[in-house]
Structure 1
């Protein structure tokens, strides 16, 4: 009934598009149903049963195999947070705090909003450091036009970043050892994949925001920018806490919230601060590792590259916190110089650790097929075809 979660390398091909929507629908129903023990057990069993079907077959593409268990796990942890650790009655929307949904349709709409607002925008649980939304004077179609133009820009930047990767020797099913390459090339390719992922997230968000606002499911104020401002980043902690998207922030703090539900850890103490820090990165490591486990082309040794990337981050944050502490003890004031030094440190840190992320992705064969069609490759192909100029492989 329940297959092993470690996939068989000879598993069949099956594009089961229903699994993730079904898991989401089960969790959605869980927030509509009364929060009693029977309903909790029923929703949990149903969601887990659907989830363990994921490794029974391959979707045929490595990126999709990687994302399926991650999406399933995130929906389940969100439901556990909203309906097991807490009660749905604890959450309310800013626009109708006093209104209690009574009919099934009202409850379904309320539940849909709760489960699709990953950063808590417009709710009483909005996460920290969400960028400022569009002004109230922004019209619907002005917002849509801006986001569509942004999406085009993000797509071109994504293409520009992944072109050198897709035309490299790492875009094969059996790439060479990345760490045997020159350090300069390692750094360059690592930053290309990092910036490329940044563009991918923004591309998806801009298109999604434009669509939701265009059909009046959201207002421009419901869709603040996904990422923070780069100029505010001068530490690794700033990068993860202020700049990078906060879509998973609440779900990744679930282990800490569960721990403090049974063990008293005083808020504001060093124990609380660093317990939450390390548990959060352990959680994000496990979430991403669930995706790695569903890829048959990887190995345990290669998966450690991904683990290293995520688990080195809290170590760096702990180190820089200590350096900042020593600076304050020495009465060093924050200035443009200290911020510049912090930005340089942050750049150097990610130059070093992004190499592990690139190595993991390359060794899985993730770059062997392009996720999106390339304008650059298409243009070079046309040049070669019609003018005899250089094509992709010749450059």
Structure 2
């Protein structure tokens, strides 16, 4: 049984970073770059997939939050990258970098050139600059490298401050999320509703700030060292003003790092089921495919914490798919009646109503995911090892 608070998972072997983390990350780009017959590549990919599944089931880093991140963000992503780039599409044939000075197909280039480009594809989650770039990516930065670095440093500092502020609430007041045996119970009634709503808002802001901070640090390093261009690093998140529906919240405002999986798998399912493209059924099929994939990727993190936890992340993602179906039906009804929709889209009143709906839904659905994160011990230690707020401000309060 897992002792989640200490991070120890009984019966599991210590994670070998070299063979269980680094090896799959090296093997996949080599496999993509190699011009081997498909049966050979498929067989090799099955071995890789099996080794990753074995890691999910038998290994532990000894730290709960690391296990969850490895299972979902690292190996979970790699698992579906293998399926995508070996089984569904061939980047060496179908992909083209739009700013590439060499017009020749990737498949015709040397092995080292193919390997370099396969690495670029695999690590470029939104496929920025490629002919397969996902939709709804924020506009690229317009300006010089120096201007980009100055702009991105300001963004990074803002994200750092937001991370510090939110972590300075979540961790010192952990008992307001998960009361211990000696802590007073959380209030009920309207006071309890307000507290839980505030807690959910702070946790979501913390998650947003941490993801944004890491991305901005990576972009500063890559552009500062001359490894990539400013236009290769558009903002990670879209505009919050776009989030007046649940569909737009997840499809435009939130990060799109997994969308390439959703797009290819969604189209594959629609094509396999012979569903006509552009129809309501096609749209809904792709929505449920996307959220099912997201649930699976996050549930690999559950699995790293123990087999008994597999699927704890599912309800949140599937509930969001159902919420989109509901709102699509309401929007279609409103449009058919001519209510609140003009030639330029929804009216201001409808957008305000939409924002209220999104806030209500996020408040209602977030505990499905947030509560599980706290109960499992995933949210246990702050990201920032040094906190100006906790070190310099809170002792005086």
Instruction: Determine if the TM-score, normalized by the shorter chain, exceeds 0.5.
Output: yes
CA distance in 2, matches of 1:113, 1:193: 32
What residue in structure 2 maps to residue 83 of structure 1? Answer: 86
What residue in structure 2 maps to residue 307 of structure 1? Answer: 314
Matches within 5 A, 1:222-371: 222-296=232-306, 300=309, 304=312, 306-332=313-339, 333=341, 334-371=346-383
Q: Are the equivalent residues in 2 in contact too, given 1:170–1:367 (CA < 8 A)?
A: no
What residue in structure 1 maps to residue 125 of structure 2? Answer: 118
Q: Are the equivalent residues in 1 in contact too, given 2:56–2:303 (CA < 8 A)?
A: no
Residues 1:81 and 1:330: Cα distance change in structure 2 (over 3 Å):
same
Residues 1:299 and 1:175: Cα distance change in structure 2 (over 3 Å):
farther
Matches within 5 A, 1:95-106: 95-96=99-100, 98-101=103-106, 102-106=109-113
Aligned length: 373
Residue from 136, 142, 161 that aligns with 2:166:
161
What residue in structure 2 maps to residue 10 of structure 1? Answer: 10
Per-residue displacement from partner, 1:345-388 (whole Å, max 9, x unpaired)? Answer: 1111111111222211110122332222232211247x4xxxxx
Are 1:379 and 2:392 counterparts?
yes
Q: Are the equivalent residues in 1 in contact too, given 2:65–2:379 (CA < 8 A)?
A: no
Per-residue displacement from partner, 1:153-193 (whole Å, max 9, x unpaired)? Answer: 10110121122211224489985799876121111111111
More displaced stretch, 251-260 vs 145-154: 251-260
Offset of residue 123 of structure 1: 0.7
Are 1:57 and 2:62 counterparts?
no
Q: Are the equivalent residues in 2 in contact too, given 1:171–1:368 (CA < 8 A)?
A: no
Residues 1:173 and 1:12: Cα distance change in structure 2 (over 3 Å):
farther
Q: Are the equivalent residues in 2 in contact too, given 1:169–1:175 (CA < 8 A)?
A: no
Q: Are the equivalent residues in 1 in contact too, given 2:52–2:79 (CA < 8 A)?
A: no
CA distance in 1, matches of 2:300, 2:12: 20
Structure 1 SS opposite 2:136: coil
Per-residue displacement from partner, 1:15-34 (whole Å, max 9, x unpaired)? Answer: 53323222111111111111
Are 1:142 and 2:147 counterparts?
yes
CA distance in 2, matches of 1:25, 1:369: 30
Residues 1:270 and 1:172: Cα distance change in structure 2 (over 3 Å):
closer
CA distance in 1, matches of 2:110, 2:205: 46
Are 1:216 and 2:226 counterparts?
yes
CA distance in 1, matches of 2:302, 2:24: 20
What residue in structure 2 maps to residue 73 of structure 1? Answer: 76
What residue in structure 2 maps to residue 4 of structure 1? Answer: none
Q: Are the equivalent residues in 2 in contact too, given 1:190–1:354 (CA < 8 A)?
A: yes
Q: Are the equivalent residues in 2 in contact too, given 1:235–1:346 (CA < 8 A)?
A: yes
Q: Are the equivalent residues in 1 in contact too, given 2:71–2:302 (CA < 8 A)?
A: no
Offset of residue 217 of structure 1: 1.4
Question: TM-score, normalised to structure 1's length?
Answer: 0.87
Structure 2 SS opposite 1:231: helix
Offset of residue 54 of structure 1: 4.3
Offset of residue 133 of structure 1: 0.5
Offset of residue 307 of structure 1: 2.3
Offset of residue 299 of structure 1: 5.7
